[in-house]
Structure 1
């Protein structure tokens, strides 16, 4: 850390944009060493504080970039401010420092709103920052915002023109990272990915092909078995997507109940035991009457069905029109209810 402090005080403070690549390299190495040091300290039962101390140097670097008064925009260090933040974000997400993430976004968003013209950030740094912002939205169950910014990032990412194998690999990896989070958000909004899109990446196919198949085939058993896979669960947890993908199960339940309704004649009355039988077949195990009533009531509360449950008559009384509203029409309501549902599961 003395090397970083010395560089910031004696070299970078007097330098210009030519020193930015050196700054980035030093900060990334500092962060990696701090994480390793904290891991070793935790094993020995010592206080874990190296990463927090390292972040003080990140803050100094950010302040030094933002405080540059060089009138030459090509030589100004302000262009490096957002890049420093992006390095911090990558470190925070890797180290699971959620409290630090929230504080940093609050600081930078204030700067972007009031001083965006002076930050002189590159387009690549702005897109990267919005990617991390979308990841934070996912972390806090703000799914509508997450989808908006991930679609922004996907539109801005270069998908052609990369020269060399390494550049093309990096380009494909970046697109895959965005799609990894965007695909379940689009599924939750009622848009299924194409087979060609999933086949373009073995990792995406392994994660989401069973989810799509479960929806198409109204197969709860396949869906549950997929999420019970420890590798799938661990991967989705690491990228803050497990709660969202679990919530997609309600769309499978909706399709199962809708199929039972169609088989029963698509009227305004649907017996609960018909729903119970359909859910039991789809799940591959017996579903109880109370569980069935709770599932149907939840679909109605989410806006995925229109009607009410008559417990006394063991019937679902359905609306004549728009009995099963389009998922897209219920996007905001459904996401808000999923936020509540996910937080309830975690308490």
Structure 2
């Protein structure tokens, strides 16, 4: 996990800048580059908004990401389609990845417009699998996963009460899609956009890079003010998403120049891509160092939240508690795979971690 010294030095000389000004309001758009419009949709969470993008596509539009499926988002999409986007049909709905704020309205938009859904294969198929999961109770494997992390009965009950949330805010996807692949060049509105796939935050996240416009649509793979959640999920408890995340940071450093305008899904468009990538890797290194120190004594996952996150972490906020669990496990699995940490399950099914002896 070593970034070349020349890139670190260059990144240190150049901070982040936000050249696009105020974001567009509901039902409004803002041009950020020739043929590229900035849209925003509200979110019922601390993030508050997601950024979406409309790309002029000859006589139509390619929409990148969609917002959650909710009445207020439907209202704002209807206003956009009748107002700023009127006169050109939606030809494509391109979704960067499977999270509900990105894919939630994709089925609605494709049915409403007749446009086709474009996604990477793993994101499309995983979305279908998640939408089809039983939303009535936590599976035995899910209960065991959280028990191993040190959750008590109350925490599991609070999390179980949230089941069905994904299905409630994701409109059913179309039964077919157009697969996009890493390294593929998409022709949109007379310009080439190269697909750069990353991982860690989700299985096969698509970013779009236009060399002509010096523009990167980064989705959640690079955010300027917050870091993306990198989590181990109950369905794959031995996964190592942090290794995939760090490899993706290096991939973007090599594949995309530093002077691009980055269009992220949250916060504002910014410049200073390489500086941000270096800072994100440095954050990973700091957290791993804190974890090593905390693991001088045996700890459960829930005992390690204070080492990795600011502020108290309680099961009163079931979503935040589960995200913290998944992210802590991502760091632990990374160290386990390096042989720096060992794990032992006790008689009650709880796993205790400590630095290797």
Normalised by the length of structure 1, the TM-score is: 0.32
Larger relative helix fraction: 1
Larger relative strand fraction: 2
Higher relative contact order (CA 8 A, sep 6+): 2
The structure number with the bigger radius of gyration is 1
Normalised by the length of structure 2, the TM-score is: 0.31
